[in-house]
Amino acid sequence: MPRTTKDVLYSWEEIGRRGSGEDWWELIPACIWWTLWKERNARCFEDKRNNTQEIRMNCLSLLYFWCKQNMVGNIELFVDFIGNL
CA distance 52 to 75: 26
Q: How many domains, in total, are found in the chain?
A: 1
User: pLDDT band at residue 35, thresholds of 50, 70 and 90?
Assistant: very high
pLDDT of residue 46: 97
Closest by CA position to 65, among listed 42, 34, 37: 34
Could you tell me if 22 and 73 are in contact, meaning their C-beta atoms sit under 8 angstroms apart?
Answer: yes
pLDDT of residue 51: 97
- Residue 74 forms part of a structural domain: yes
CA distance 80 to 44: 35
Could you tell me if 58 and 50 are in contact, meaning their C-beta atoms sit under 8 angstroms apart?
Answer: yes
Tell me the residue range of the domain where 76 lies: 23-83
Q: What is the pLDDT of residues 36-72, one digit of tens each?
A: 999 999 999 999 999 999 999 999 899 888 887 776 6
pTM metric for this prediction: 0.71
- Residue 41 forms part of a structural domain: yes
- Residue 38 forms part of a structural domain: yes
More confident residue, 43 or 78: 43
Specify the 3-state DSSP secondary structure of 44: helix
- Residue 68 forms part of a structural domain: yes
